[in-house]
Every structure is written in structure tokens, then in C-alpha cells.
Structure 1
Amino acid sequence: MYRFAICDDDPQFAALLKEALISQLNNRNIAFEISFFDTPSDLISRFEQEEPYDLLFLDIVFQDTTGIQMARRLRSFHTDTDIIFLSSSSDYALESFDVSPLHYLIKTDKLEKLEEALDRFFDKHADQSFYIKSREGILSLPVSEILFFEIYGHDLSVHLISGENHTFSGTLKKIEEDLPGSTFIRAHKSYLVNMAHIVKIVRYEISLSNGKTVPISKKNYLSIMSAFVDYSTRSVEM
């Protein structure tokens, strides 16, 4: 699931952006959640306490600071969060390059460039890979091709849609922390599953797109069902 945030002190524009963003993401069949902040301090506080957002829409002018100053500070917490600046003019465009924004949207353009900005974001993330050090050496695995991770003893095995399996050392907890995006769910103490490949969940078992099944622990059943429903229906949280 992708996590988006909007930080703007203009609630009317923020609502317009949120509506347009929801429409664009639903058209792309993307699982997502959106958070809104109307003050820089609230945004900073959230960044300090929680996992990073994948994409932040950040107003470039606030009463006591600028979005560029904010971006510099946020980069000290999470360097991987992409930032799209929001502004009523292009006055700050050159200065904003210092913090490597993904895009720069002019508010008066009625968000005509939003689709282009999202294209750029998803193109950047489309080829994300996960690296493992296996007996064959260091392997780069496209995240979209990973079905699930399984742990047995002190070894981990990653199962791919091609039918290949690769064994390596590690823990599922570390895998959860390192995986890009948020489409994986802990189905069982021994399994981490890519929700993009779940076909159905029946009782305490997950059926995957390649015909394999993965058990669900009774303790995690309700939370797993909830997470999968959220993923499937592309929910929005505020």
C-alpha cells in the first residue's frame, strides 16, 4: 500500500487535491492511504514518529517557513520520501532543486499536471528491486515478482512467480523493514506474503496466483483480512 501525505494550510485547495488524487489512484488500481496536515509542525511530528510516506505534496509557502526549508528538515528523517511542491507561482522553482523534488505543481493550473507528476512517481517505483545474498551470489529480484517469503530454521526462502526459490540468511522482521512499498503482510510467523498475488482468503489459508497456498495464524486472521480488504478496495484513510 502506498502512503501519501498532503501538507497545505489552504483547506479548500487541499480538499481539491485530495479528490483529484483519489480519482487518479483509483483509475490506476492502486492501494493507498492519504493523510492531511495543515501545519508544518504536525507534519514534522508525524515524520518523527512513524514510517515514512512514499509521496508528500508540500505547499511551498507557509506563514513562518517555506516548503523548501521543511523539505530539508524532512530529508534528515527520511531521504526516500518523494516530494511534489505546491505553489501559486513558479518563483521558487529554481531554489527547490536543492532538495530534489519529484515535481512542481502550480495551483492555478487546476492540477492539470497531477497525472504527469504521478506518472513520474510510479515510473520511478515500477522497477524497484529487492536484493538478497544467496548461495548464488547477490541477486536483484523485482518486488512485483515475489510471491512470499518463508522462514525455516535459520534460513529464509523467497518464492517467485516464475517458480524459482532462493535461500538466504535473515529474518522476516528485517525483510519487512527493507522491502520497498507496503504490499506485504505477515500471514504467519513463518510467512510474509505479497498481497498483489493473493487470489482469495478462505478460513485460515491464503490462495496465491500460482496455485500455492500459505497458512494464516488464527491470532493474525482478523488483521490480515482487514489489511487485504483495505488493499483490495483501495481504501483512503485520513
Structure 2
Amino acid sequence: MIRIAVVDDEKYVCAQLKRSLLEYQFKYNLDFDVDIFLTCEDLYERLQSSMGYHLIFLDIEFPNMNGVDLGKKIRGRIGDIRTQIVFISAKDSYAMELFSVHPFDFIIKPVSKERLYPCISNFIKLYSNSNVFFTYTLENIKHKIAVSEIIYIQSERKKLKLITSSEEIICYHKFSDAVTNEMKNDMVVIKRGLAVNINHIVDADFETVVLSNGTRLKISDGYRNSVMDILSDKIGGS
């Protein structure tokens, strides 16, 4: 079952989105559980006290805690980098504010099925491939780790260092193979021999990236434009 939250202070928007989601579910024989929240505070309270959601459709404009604030709390205070957030808004001027939340997509209101359905389809593809593992050899024994757990990777001579939130793993593996094959959908190279998991970036500018474990890394001159392009595509969605 895919758990989805819709957060908007306008009841008719919530009802419309839920109806469209259930129609998509019926059409493609999926299993959605859709919950409605009229304030960011209500969802935040739920996330602190129970199981979270796979996908959140989150309006930005609220009278008190707004959608961007809630997104930052989800990523920062709760420490959830896996839940995908789709911001919805009548305005299109939030790109820089949304960066630290790392949204899956951004949809302008009114939310049409023509815009919503491709977004859901892209999410389903990501959800289906979310359990991608990286296989490596350590002391002649094969191991595997979920790519989502790797914050960044670094080439060290003929070895590869994997940095997670809890440990550093050094194994025999080519850096180029990792970033072009097993991890190609998640890693972005920021300098020669160093790549970061795009899903662990919480802040960035033209010169540096800040990762979910607090690490701040510099982007080399030759990689800055390509890194910014990739991050802009990620923020803008499909």
C-alpha cells in the first residue's frame, strides 16, 4: 500500500486531489491510502506520533506554519529524507525556498489531471525502484547496502569509500563504475573522485553542498554548471 497525504486549507482542493488519486488508483490497479489534512500542524503532529507517508502533496500558503516550514521540519527535525514531497501552489516563485526541502515535484494550481498523473507515474517508478542496492566486496566477502543509505562516495586510490550516517565503508570498487552504473540515478559528481547522493543534499549554492549529516563539501569549478543543472531539474520536477 502506498500511503499518501494531501495537505491544503481549502477543502475542495483536498477533495479534488483525493478523487483524482483514487481514479488513478482504480485505473492502474494500485493500492493507495489517502489522508487529508487542512493544516501543516495537523500533519506534523501525525508524523511525530505514527507511521509516515510515501508521498505528500503539500500546499505552500497557510496562515501559520506554511508548507516550506513543514517540509524543512520533515527533512531536518524529523530526519525524513525518503518521503517524497510534491508542492502545490498558485504561485511559481518559490524555487530557491524549496531547495532545502528537496521536493519531488512542483505543481501550479489548479491541479489538473494532465499535470498530476505524470507526476504520480514518475513517483510510482521511483517507488518501485527504491530498494536499489549497491554490491561491494570487503575482505573477499560480498556485501550489499541500500543506495538510499549512502550519503556520498569518494575515490581513495584504488578503493572506494562509502559514507553513511552511521559508518564509513572502504571497499575495492571503481568510482567510475559506481557513478555510471549502480548509483547513476542517485549520485552527482561534484569534483573528481567525489560524488554525493542527491537525495541527501539539504542545501547548496554555486560553490558548496550541505548534506544530511552536516558535511559541507566544495564543488569544483569544472562541475558547478552541471551540478546546478541537475539540482535545478530535481527542484523543477518533470
Q: What range describes the TM-score normalised by the shorter chain of this pair? A: 0.5 to 0.7
Partner of 1:27: 27
Letter of the aligned partner of 1:85 in structure 2? Answer: F
Candidates 119, 138, 143, aligned match of 2:143: 138
Partner of 2:157: none
Contact 1:60/1:67 (CA < 8 Å) preserved in 2?
Answer: yes
Partner of 1:96: 98
Cα deviation, residue 124, structure 1 = 1.3
CA distance in 2: counterparts of 1:25 and 1:93, whole angstroms = 30
Cα deviation, residue 127, structure 1 = 1.8
Cα deviation, residue 139, structure 1 = 4.5
Partner of 1:49: 49
Cα deviation, residue 25, structure 1 = 1.9
| SS of equivalent to 1:4 | strand
CA distance in 1: counterparts of 2:110 and 2:42, whole angstroms = 26
CA distance in 2: counterparts of 1:110 and 1:127, whole angstroms = 26
Letter of the aligned partner of 2:15 in structure 1? Answer: A
Cα deviation, residue 136, structure 1 = 6.3
Per-residue CA shift, 1:13-34, capped at 9, x if unaligned?
1100110011112222111211
Q: CA distance change for structure 1 residues 63 and 124 in 2, over 3 Å: closer, same or farther?
A: same
Cα deviation, residue 43, structure 1 = 0.6
1:79 matches 2:81? yes
Q: CA distance change for structure 1 residues 111 and 64 in 2, over 3 Å: closer, same or farther?
A: farther
Contact 1:103/1:117 (CA < 8 Å) preserved in 2?
Answer: yes
| SS of equivalent to 1:108 | coil
Letter of the aligned partner of 1:34 in structure 2? Answer: V
Superposed counterparts of 1:1-238, under 5 Å:
1-76=1-76, 77=78, 78-129=80-131, 137-139=142-144
CA distance in 2: counterparts of 1:45 and 1:140, whole angstroms = 32
Per-residue CA shift, 1:202-237, capped at 9, x if unaligned?
xxxxxxxxxxxxxxxxxxxxxxxxxxxxxxxxxxxx
CA distance in 2: counterparts of 1:46 and 1:104, whole angstroms = 23
Letter of the aligned partner of 2:74 in structure 1? Answer: L
Q: CA distance change for structure 1 residues 48 and 6 in 2, over 3 Å: closer, same or farther?
A: same
Structural RMSD (CA): 2.5
| SS of equivalent to 1:52 | coil
Q: CA distance change for structure 1 residues 126 and 62 in 2, over 3 Å: closer, same or farther?
A: same
Contact 2:57/2:87 (CA < 8 Å) preserved in 1?
Answer: yes
Cα deviation, residue 55, structure 1 = 0.2
TM-score between both structures, scaled by the size of structure 1 = 0.54
Structure 1 residue runs without a partner (length 5+): 142-238
Q: CA distance change for structure 1 residues 107 and 44 in 2, over 3 Å: closer, same or farther?
A: same
CA distance in 1: counterparts of 2:99 and 2:119, whole angstroms = 16
Letter of the aligned partner of 2:142 in structure 1? Answer: G
Contact 1:17/1:111 (CA < 8 Å) preserved in 2?
Answer: no
The higher radius of gyration belongs to 1
Cα deviation, residue 60, structure 1 = 0.6
CA distance in 1: counterparts of 2:143 and 2:130, whole angstroms = 16
Partner of 2:189: none
> Once superposed, which parts of structure 1, at least 4 consecutive aligned residues long, lie more than 6 Å away?
none
